Amino acid sequence: MKIKTGLIALGAVFLSLVGPSMGLAQTPPPAGAPGAPPAGQPQSSTVEVDQGVIQPLPIAMPAFNGPARGGDIMQVASADLERSGLFAPLNPATFIEHDLDVAVQPRFADWKQISAQYLVNGNVTVTSDNRLRVDFRLWDIYSEQQLLGLQFTSTPENWRRVAHKIADAVYERLTGEKGYFDTRIVFVAESGPKTARVKRLEIMDQDGANPNYLTDGSYLVMTPRFSTTDQQITYMALRPTGSSVYLFNLETGRQETIGRFPGMVFSPRFSPDGSRVAFSVEKNGNSDIYVMDLRSRAMTRLTEDPSIDTSPSFSPDGRQVVFNSDRGGSPQLYVMNLDGTGVRRISYGGGRYTTPVWSPTGDFIAFTKQEGGDFHIGVMRADGSDERILTTSYLDEGPSWAPNGRVLVFFRETPGGPARLWTVDITGRILRPAPFQGAGSDPAWSPLLN
């Protein structure tokens, strides 16, 4: 693994709509009409993702035709969809039809025979100017209709991003929600014994590929957080001389501090428009929440209470801030207006509530909860209602939302073991270790890449 402190190139992926459907969703014909699925067969082209029990959709994803990366692209896209818990890619050994061409309709009877409900097929070509061109189609097997037809072009080394974009397109067409696969996760990579732990910022694709260190481990780093508008992070650096909040532009490699503070500074987080950063400053045993305008560097103090106020997180419209405070005797969640007025407590369950983070869709606030000897990741509405516990273990902490507000990444420790990254969906049913084998904590999910 290499330390990469300069430009982190993403590469461009260009999209066009192709094929007879021009990428537009089609509604299956009514039962009994020509081309309609037989009685008793699925007639919906969307997945109901809010059900308590979700049956993963059987989807066939054969290797794309072509001389370059066809199998690799499909393997990455298939793995993305499988990890979501909403799709069950079928074993290629069961496929009857082979060498599909995007210009030719598949033999639907062959795919019905192996119980595929959807099919993704495609072609990969290399253009005369050494560009990778990928055409793919999404088919509804029972209605015998094309649901999606897209073309991506990119440089050959950018093939993984093409695969993630294909998975995003399929996910969105069949669930009605944005995908989250063409994204990255930044976190604190941990190595060495607990008494001398080395902590470095590390970034990777959401599927664990392309890991890179962003800092060299010569100082401690904490709480990295992504901007929701671009590929920029903010994080806390702790050196013998004190603590600082940094901005790190991942596309240019530029790092800058937003200032040094008389006390410790914690938990920086961007506003939804990326123009401000909220954080808490501890001085003389008390911590309060501040907001800094990144253009003027002017600071506004939001809380003035003789308690510990920390972990601020903006609502998606930027008008409110959720934070945790022990002003009531134990750490609980509170919401206030952006000017610090209207403070109201929203957590009333048993235990201690910390690390709140507002969903990008605005419907939930995720949190860490400690009760008894267990730690939990949970969600609740912004008014404190509908509290749901999603995970329980020896130590679960630090949730961060995927950009579609459907999945959370967090870190988990076992007794005597290192911290590891995990993911869970908002139903709590789809709980999995993240596809990264190293030790890590404090994860943060990026917005979708451009």
pLDDT one-digit tens code per residue, 100-124? 999 999 999 999 999 999 999 999 9
3-state SS class at 108: helix
Tokens of 80: 């993305």
Whether the predicted pLDDT of 347 surpasses 70:
yes
Q: pLDDT value at position 303?
A: 96
Looking at every residue in the chain, the average pLDDT score rounds to 89
The 8-class DSSP code of residue 308 comes to B
Rounded to 10 degrees, the C-alpha dihedral 242/7/153/128 comes to -170
- Residue from 125, 153, 133, 130 nearest 66 by CA: 125
Cα gap 121→246, rounded to integer Å = 45
Angle value at C-alpha 390, between 173 and 229, nearest 5 degrees? 50
Phi, psi values for residue 431, rounded to 5°: -115, 120
Share of the chain above pLDDT 70, in %: 88
Q: pLDDT value at position 289?
A: 96
Cα gap 254→5, rounded to integer Å = 8
Which residue's entry shows tokens 């630090």? 398
Q: pLDDT value at position 15?
A: 64
Q: How many CA atoms lie within 13 A of 314 on its CB side?
A: 24
- Residue from 414, 300, 402, 298 nearest 359 by CA: 402
Average pLDDT over residues 39-58: 60
Name the pLDDT band for 3 (thresholds 50, 70, 90).
Answer: very low
Cα gap 355→81, rounded to integer Å = 29
Q: pLDDT value at position 213?
A: 96
Indicate if the alpha-carbon torsion angle 147, 153, 159, 165 is positive or negative. negative
Whether the predicted pLDDT of 31 surpasses 80:
no
Whether the predicted pLDDT of 338 surpasses 80:
yes
Whether the predicted pLDDT of 21 surpasses 70:
no
Q: pLDDT value at position 27?
A: 34
- Residue from 403, 2, 19 nearest 215 by CA: 2
Q: pLDDT value at position 13?
A: 72
Q: How far is CA 426 from CA 143, 353, 431, in A?
A: 31, 18, 10
Share of the chain above pLDDT 90, in %: 78
Residue scoring higher pLDDT (244 or 169): 169
Name the pLDDT band for 38 (thresholds 50, 70, 90).
Answer: very low
Q: How far is CA 188 from CA 105, 109, 171, 299, 412, in A?
A: 48, 50, 29, 27, 13
Contact 213, 202 (CB under 8 A): yes
Contact 363, 386 (CB under 8 A): no
Q: Which helix (H) or strand (E) holds 77?
A: helix 70-83
Give the tens place of pLDDT for each residue, 387-401: 999 999 999 999 999
Cα gap 126→427, rounded to integer Å = 42
Domains within the chain, CATH numbers bracketed = 13-32+54-175 (3.40.50.10070), 184-445 (2.120.10.30)
Whether the predicted pLDDT of 377 surpasses 80:
yes
